[in-house]
Amino acid sequence: MSAISLGQAVILGVVEGVTEFLPVSSTGHLKIVEGFMGIPVDDHAVVGFSAVIQVGAIAAVLVYFRKDIARIVSAWFRGLTNREERYHHDYRFAWWVIAATIPIVVVGLAAKPLIQGPLASLWVVAASLIVGSAVMWAADQMGRHKRGEDDTSFKDAMLVGSSQILALLFPGFSRSGATMSTALMLDLDRVAATRLSFFLGIPALTGAGLYELKDALGTGVGAAPLVVGTIVSFAVAYASIAWLLKFVANHSFNAFVIYRIAIGLLLFGLLGTGVLS
């Protein structure tokens, strides 16, 4: 019998799609919902399932930003053979994304036992939600929001890409929250910070999903729940991306900060009273 039913796969797909790119922690929300449904959050099959349905959300990014991605990839290929193309921002940006992905890959492989073990705790999720909120609020207040996407540099990409490690080690911190906060501290405007977060997340999250696929299929999660969860995640994530880009163009991140604190405190209360374990 599958560790996750089709009904549970639909629910988790919706949760993943809504929260993957919002700075509220998809991993944290998945673990909370899994806890409510009685699914063991530290089970290797469940961790693998969560990583695989992220591919649906990443596919939504690929489709949504297909024109930008095609432009960047084509510039990269042209630059491999044409020296003049190497001065183009898109060519350099492609290399920056590749380089900025290396730190999270190294840490992810080295720390996998911790990530799938002690750090998968709901207590860690609750604490990370609140701590990450403080970081996000400070970044939004401190940032001068004066630099656009065309002003990004190799240093920006490396710092923002490396900040994904925080979310990798501390579920609840939020990959989007960590990357957006770092970008804001570097004085990027909110739209540029959000788009950079999207682009830097593509290789990291796609790689994680593909790497975990064998574990998810081989340790109790059937193919049907994986397919259903991934499709639902894709559809919901596409809508979430469109909404988020419109939202950040005219609003601060304060709403997300307040929401994260509320969820973190609620989770502490549920854990402390034994409602969740």
Average confidence (pLDDT) over 21-46: 82
Give residue 32's pLDDT band: very low, low, confident or very high (50, 70, 90): confident
Q: What is the pLDDT of residues 165-219, one digit of tens each?
A: 999 899 889 999 999 999 999 999 999 999 999 999 888 878 877 777 666 666 5
Cα(117)–Cα(209) distance, rounded to whole angstroms?
18
- Residue 55 has a pLDDT of 84
Give residue 231's pLDDT band: very low, low, confident or very high (50, 70, 90): very high
The answer to whether the CB of 208 falls within 8 A of the CB of 54 is yes
- Residue 120 has a pLDDT of 79
Identify the burial level of 55 via C-beta atoms within 10 angstroms of its C-beta, where 0-12 means exposed, 13-18 middle and 19 or more buried: buried
Q: What is the pLDDT of residues 79-89, one digit of tens each?
A: 999 989 898 99
Q: What is the pLDDT of residues 87-136, one digit of tens each?
A: 899 999 999 999 999 999 999 889 888 887 888 788 998 999 999 999 99
Cα(197)–Cα(260) distance, rounded to whole angstroms?
19
The larger pLDDT score, comparing residue 231 to residue 171, is at: 231
DSSP secondary structure code for residue 256 in this structure? H
Amino acid at 249: A
